[in-house]
Amino acid sequence: MAKIAILGAGVMGSSMSVPASAAGHDIALIGTPLDEVIIKSIQSSLSHPSLSVKLPSEIKAYQFTELSNVLAQKKDLLILGVSSGGVDWATSQLIEHLDGTIPILMITKGLVDNGQEIETLPTSLQRNIKKSRGLELDVMAIGGPCIAGELAAKRSTMVTFTGKDIQAIENIAKMLECEFYHVRISSDLTGVELCAAFKNFYALGVGWAHGFFEASGDLSDGPKMHNLASSIFNQAIHEMNILVKNLGGMSESVYGLPGVGDLYVTCLAGRNSRMGRLLGLGNTYSYAKNHIMENDTVEGAELAKALAPALKRYWDSGKLPKASMPLARSIVNSICDDLPLKMNWWEFSR
CATH of the domain at 70: 3.40.50.720
- 291 and 179, same structural domain? no
Per DSSP, what are the bridge partners of residue 160? 143, 184
Query: Tell me, what's the pLDDT at 134?
Result: 85
- 130 and 39, same structural domain? yes
- 256 and 121, same structural domain? no
- The answer to whether the CB of 170 falls within 8 A of the CB of 33 is no
Which of 172, 187, 202 corresponds to the end of one domain? 187
- The answer to whether the CB of 296 falls within 8 A of the CB of 271 is yes
Residue with more model confidence, 106 or 227: 106
**Residue 33 exposed, middle or buried by CB count within 10 Å (0-12, 13-18, 19+):** exposed
Q: Which domain holds residue 19?
A: 3-187
- 31 and 160, same structural domain? yes
- The answer to whether the CB of 194 falls within 8 A of the CB of 111 is yes
- 149 and 286, same structural domain? no
CATH of the domain at 203: 1.10.1040.10
- If you average pLDDT over every residue of the chain, what do you get? 93
Query: Tell me, what's the pLDDT at 243?
Result: 97
| CA distance to 85, 91, 95, 100, per residue, from 132 (Å) | 20, 10, 7, 12
Tens digits of per-residue pLDDT, 303-317?
999 999 999 999 999
The C-alpha torsion from 14 through 19 and 23 to 25, rounded to 10°, is -10
Q: Is residue 215's pLDDT more than 70?
A: yes
Tens digits of per-residue pLDDT, 265-317?
999 988 999 999 999 999 999 999 999 999 888 999 999 999 999 999 999 99
- 291 and 177, same structural domain? no
- The answer to whether the CB of 140 falls within 8 A of the CB of 162 is yes
- 171 and 297, same structural domain? no
Query: Tell me, what's the pLDDT at 135?
Result: 84
Which of 140, 171, 187 corresponds to the end of one domain? 187
Query: Tell me, what's the pLDDT at 273?
Result: 95
- 87 and 109, same structural domain? yes
Contacts of 134 (CB under 8 A, 6+ apart): none
Q: What pLDDT band is residue 38 in, cutting at 50, 70 and 90?
A: very high
Q: Is residue 221's pLDDT more than 70?
A: no
Average pLDDT rounded to a whole number, residues 199-206 = 97
- 298 and 158, same structural domain? no
Single out the residue of 65, 33, 68, 31 nearest to residue 48, CA to CA: 31
Helices (DSSP H) in the chain: which residue ranges?
Answer: 11-22, 36-45, 67-72, 87-97, 121-133, 148-152, 166-176, 189-216, 226-246, 251-254, 262-268, 271-280, 285-291, 299-317, 326-337
- 303 and 285, same structural domain? yes
Which of 164, 187, 210 corresponds to the end of one domain? 187
Tens digits of per-residue pLDDT, 103-152?
999 999 889 998 889 999 999 999 988 888 888 888 999 999 999 999 99
Query: Tell me, what's the pLDDT at 219?
Result: 62
Q: Is residue 220's pLDDT more than 90?
A: no
- 183 and 202, same structural domain? no
Query: Tell me, what's the pLDDT at 224?
Result: 64
- 231 and 141, same structural domain? no
Count up the domains in the chain and report the number: 2
Average pLDDT rounded to a whole number, residues 334-345 = 95
Average pLDDT rounded to a whole number, residues 18-44 = 96
